[in-house]
Structure 1
Amino acid sequence: METVAVIDFETTGMSPELGDRATEVAVVIVSDGKISSRYQSLMNTGAYIPPFIEDLTGISNEMIRQAPPAAQVMKELADFVGAAPWVAHNASFDSRFLDAEWSRMGHRREQAFACSMLLARRLYPDSPNHKLGTLVRFLGLPDTARHHRALADAEMTAHLWLRMVSDLKNRQGLDVVTHEFLRALQKVPKAKLPAYIAKFAHAA
């Protein structure tokens, strides 16, 4: 199984375009079918954390004031991940914050994102919904019991990613399931999914 980097941000809000900033980031590296290493850090961007976000995440303004500068954290993150492709649950959210924080230090993302939420909608249509916590319970995955903290959510997403790769191999008879294939699969209409997977299996 190829190496991927599973990322999760905690933030002051929903949109970097509206001035929201990251408060915490975590990445777990998945290789050889397991989590092989982890990086996690709070990060001081100078942004104010609203009370409802503080209640949701448990990350306080005082904690952020004592955290390392955002530029230092994002440089360490880049060094840690290297060239590994990205995975996130609701990747449109995490990719925008990653790009925004990296752009402030003159760094540009080259690796593509795969979205475990979009994939789960196609692979697990019977799940009550496709929030990360719901999928963890629905599939019986390891639950860190500390949702809305970056490392906990990144680890749960990593277990979900491994489960999706395993299910595609075991249920669909695929010998190899690549990040590139899953990025394509997440865009395929549900009705066309069986034909697309069969075509990939035949080509492989």
Structure 2
Amino acid sequence: MLKNPLDRHVVVDCETTGLWPRHGHRVIEIGAVAIENRVVVGEFATLIDAGVSIPPEVQAIHGITDEMLEGRPPPEEILPRFYDFIRESILVAHNAAFDIRFLRHEFARLGMGLPHPHVCTLEMSRRRFPRLADYTLETIYLHLFPDPSFLRQNHRALDDARMTAKIWMKMEGG
């Protein structure tokens, strides 16, 4: 049992059809890692059929194709389950502004809010490591963990969430 609801963090990453929800881009994959009292206690991963096509240049980034989304659940099935998973958590993301913006947009489409506080590992890294060449997830990971064996092959949500979780726990003193 949690001593304090804010002892629960959920590291989240979204893959999308583009960069801007206001231009009709949608979340097509969510990956998340739940951490309670600094221990990983669960994961959430799903593809989402948002009913929109993925541009080829975006497919090249994350490797998710329209065919992979065929028959997958729509947002109205996934998002309530995801909301239950994140419950009273602090959300953690790398470039949180991007993921939180998309999640808020998707929840708003269903008449739901996303009031959860959030932490950004990108911003934390910029403050903690001001001399890095860049602040990509890979660069920060390799700065903290010199072993590249954990690096992902594709830009997929659960892999990114796992990397971000390791980064966040390390920067928080673990």
Compute the TM-score of the two structures, normalised by the length of structure 1.
0.78
Secondary structure of 1:109's counterpart equals coil
**Structure 1, unpaired ranges of 5+:** 168-204
Cα deviations across residues 138-176 of structure 1 (Å, max 9, x unaligned)? Answer: 111672423410000001011111011017xxxxxxxxx
Separation in 1 of the partners of 2:119 and 2:154? 21
Q: Is 1:102 the counterpart of 2:125 in the alignment?
A: no
Greater RCO structure (CA 8 Å; 6+ sep): 2
Match of 1:119 among 106, 124, 127: 124
Q: Is 1:19 the counterpart of 2:24 in the alignment?
A: yes
Give the CA RMSD over aligned residues. Answer: 1.6
Separation in 2 of the partners of 1:65 and 1:151? 19
Separation in 2 of the partners of 1:13 and 1:131? 18
Q: Is 1:157 the counterpart of 2:164 in the alignment?
A: yes
Cα deviations across residues 37-65 of structure 1 (Å, max 9, x unaligned)? Answer: 10000001101101111121111101112
**Structure 2, unpaired ranges of 5+:** 1-5
Cα deviations across residues 157-196 of structure 1 (Å, max 9, x unaligned)? Answer: 11111011017xxxxxxxxxxxxxxxxxxxxxxxxxxxxx
Q: Go from structure 1 to structure 2 and tell me whether the alpha carbon gap of 1:56 and 1:114 turns closer, same or farther (over 3 Å shift).
A: same
CA contact (8 A) 2:63 2:154 kept: no
When the two structures are aligned, how many residues end up with a matched partner?
167
Match of 2:92 among 87, 91, 97: 87
CA contact (8 A) 2:8 2:88 kept: no
Q: Aligned partner of 1:148: which letter?
A: H
Separation in 2 of the partners of 1:141 and 1:14? 30
Q: Is 1:10 the counterpart of 2:15 in the alignment?
A: yes
Q: Aligned partner of 1:61: which letter?
A: D
Separation in 1 of the partners of 2:61 and 2:88? 32
Larger radius of gyration: 1
How many percent of aligned residue pairs carry the same amino acid?
A: 33
Considering fraction of residues, name the structure with more helix.
1
Q: How does 1:1-204 map to 2 (within 5 A)?
A: 2-140=7-145, 143-166=150-173
Secondary structure of 1:159's counterpart equals helix
Compute the TM-score of the two structures, normalised by the length of structure 2.
0.91
